[in-house]
Amino acid sequence: MYIKISAVAVTLIQVVGFAQATTSTVSASKSTVSTLSKPQDYWKSFNSLVDPLNITIAAIPQTTSNDPSVECTYYEPPSNFKYNAKEWPNLWETATSNGMANTSEFQALYNAIDWSKAPKIDVRKLNTDGSINMTGYDQNTDPDCWWSASTCTKPKLEGVNEDIYTCPEPQTWGLTYDDGPNCSHNAFYDYLEAEKIKASMFYIGSNVVNWPYGAQRGQKAGHHIADHTWSHQLMTTLTNTEVLAELYYTQKAIKMVTGVTPIHWRPAFGDVDDRVRWIATQLGLTTILWDLDTDDWAAGTSETLESVQKTYEDFIAMGTNGTFKNSGQIVLTHEIDNTTMTLAMEFLPKIRAAYKNVIDVATCMNITNPYHESTVTIAPFNASAASSPAAAAASSADAVHSAAASVTSGAASDATSKDGSKAAVSAAAAVDSVSTSAGIQVSSNSLLMAFFAAAAAYLFSKLM
């Protein structure tokens, strides 16, 4: 075992300051919850004005251009989601900010949770250099199933949802993109749509309310939408209240903007332990991690573009060299900037030629209802496609199409998932990334800059 240390990528698009569009006439984000009989019912009180099966994206330069500077210019939010800063945590700050731990809806949720059952696991501390302090934690016995310490994915606590970290089906590439919706993603989303490729999209709450058309496009295209926290922090270093708020307000943001409430989430940097998992479970959320990491976010910063391309090539080769003959994988990639999205478009044709299935995680796990609502379902995994002999590139693409997720209306199907078979590869580097976007409401540039300065200094250590 050795310790790998990587720096977190920082992508900062500074198109802020001019856009103080915080006024609104109608708010879709108001909730009327005051009591909750059980915490898992929280999503029933979200009053979204968005029909997830009938989303219209306004044709404005930001939604039609492929020029990032145009795409990332502030726009008036859609009429079915009027952002009112007073009703949300501050963008890119802990989700308890702006008084959000004291709202009646949050209090109702908090009080519905039986905290006496919460695991007594310490809130982790940061070292002065920003890395997690693991002093005193036994990484070998790993009592808390702390992924950052051990890549543990099977909770040691009863009643906690077990992580998904790999696709069980053979020759399957689980396609996941973190940190969106990115304001400059039009070309990438156009590509995915043209190629009928569906991915799991892990959206950051701050980005969702900041770039609502971006999130709506993800839902409209039938991608598997999941929660990636409000402010993208190391979750094990946050208090119970903060963890709950990071997840809750992102769930709310995704519901308000897209009309669905996810049942899956991914921790920033993969930093999760049984305390954080337990809180996520209270919200009906299951953790999705990965077993292959491209480190694409680091291309051009702490890693060369060539080294990330080599990593992609290596993972692609695994599709034909027998590595995934009996199982699949989930790859960590990002919607963080033009570099990562260009890499995705560069390699997806090769990925599809090398793998039988290139699909979102809900599909690969045969989870046909990946949202709390029953309005949107995803087609089941196409078992016949999966069991046929290794296909040539052309028929492989057909298999992908038939197995890919599609949005359909109607009642929820059985949402049982297959047990994840053991991954053929060990968990890879634990480094996720940090992004930001042009701001609807960034009241303090200095605060944001301080946040990213801290993130830039951040070093993440883990055993592998």
Output the smallest distance, CB 143 to Zn ion, in A.
Answer: 26
Output the smallest distance, CB 231 to Zn ion, in A.
Answer: 11
Q: How far apart are CA 196 and CA 405, in angstroms?
A: 9
Output the smallest distance, CB 269 to Zn ion, in A.
Answer: 7
Of 90 and 231, the one with the shorter C-beta distance to Zn ion is: 231
Of 110 and 203, the one with the shorter C-beta distance to Zn ion is: 203
Q: Which of the residues are catalytic?
A: 178, 334
From the list 55-63, 90-98, 267-275, 277-285, the region that binds Zn ion by CB under 5 A is 267-275
Residues 373-432 that bind Zn ion (CB under 5 A): 432
Residues 295-334 that bind Zn ion (CB under 5 A): none
- Provide the 10 A C-beta neighbour count for residue 198: 27
Cis previous bond, 170, omega within 30 = no
At residue 370, what is the residue type? P
In the block, residue with structure tokens 């007073």: 86
Q: Report in angstroms the alpha-carbon separations of 91 from 94, 142, 437.
A: 8, 34, 10
**Helix (H) or strand (E) run with residue 357 in it:** strand 357-359
Q: What is the three-class DSSP state of 59?
A: coil
Q: How far apart are CA 380 and CA 163, in angstroms?
A: 20
x-marked contacts with Zn ion along 225-264 as a string, rule CB under 5 A: ----------------------------------------
Answer yes or no whether residue 335 interacts with Zn ion by CB under 5 A: no
Answer yes or no whether residue 179 interacts with Zn ion by CB under 5 A: yes
In the block, residue with structure tokens 């016949």: 384
Of 253 and 386, the one with the shorter C-beta distance to Zn ion is: 253
From the list 112-120, 151-159, 172-180, 454-462, the region that binds Zn ion by CB under 5 A is 172-180
Q: How far apart are CA 357 and CA 186, in angstroms?
A: 24
Q: Figure out which of the listed residues 93, 142, 169, 178 binds Zn ion, where binding follows CB under 5 A.
A: 178
Phi, psi of 432, rounded to the nearest 5 degrees: -100, -160
Token pair for 316: 């692609």
Of 105 and 178, the one with the shorter C-beta distance to Zn ion is: 178
# binding residues, Zn ion (CB under 5 A): 4
Output the smallest distance, CB 311 to Zn ion, in A.
Answer: 18
For residue 301, give the nearest of 68, 3, 10 by alpha carbon: 10
Of 28 and 201, the one with the shorter C-beta distance to Zn ion is: 201
Q: What is the three-class DSSP state of 258?
A: helix
Output the smallest distance, CB 247 to Zn ion, in A.
Answer: 14
Answer yes or no whether residue 268 interacts with Zn ion by CB under 5 A: yes
Of 151 and 369, the one with the shorter C-beta distance to Zn ion is: 151
Residues 429-448 that bind Zn ion (CB under 5 A): 432
Token pair for 221: 């295209």
Of 8 and 108, the one with the shorter C-beta distance to Zn ion is: 8
From the list 35-43, 44-52, 130-138, 268-276, the region that binds Zn ion by CB under 5 A is 268-276
From the list 132-140, 173-181, 246-254, 398-406, the region that binds Zn ion by CB under 5 A is 173-181
Q: N- to C-terminal Cα distance for the chain?
A: 6
Output the smallest distance, CB 204 to Zn ion, in A.
Answer: 7
Q: What is the three-class DSSP state of 175?
A: strand
Burial of 135-157, coded b for 16+ CB within 10 Å and e otherwise, reads eebeeeebebbbbbbbbbbebbb
Residues 13-32 that bind Zn ion (CB under 5 A): none
Output the smallest distance, CB 336 to Zn ion, in A.
Answer: 8
In the block, residue with structure tokens 């040539």: 392
Distance of CA 145 to the CA centre of its chain: 21
Answer yes or no whether residue 288 interacts with Zn ion by CB under 5 A: no
Q: How far apart are CA 435 and CA 415, in angstroms?
A: 32
Answer yes or no whether residue 87 interacts with Zn ion by CB under 5 A: no
Chain residues binding Zn ion by CB under 5 A are 178-179, 268, 432
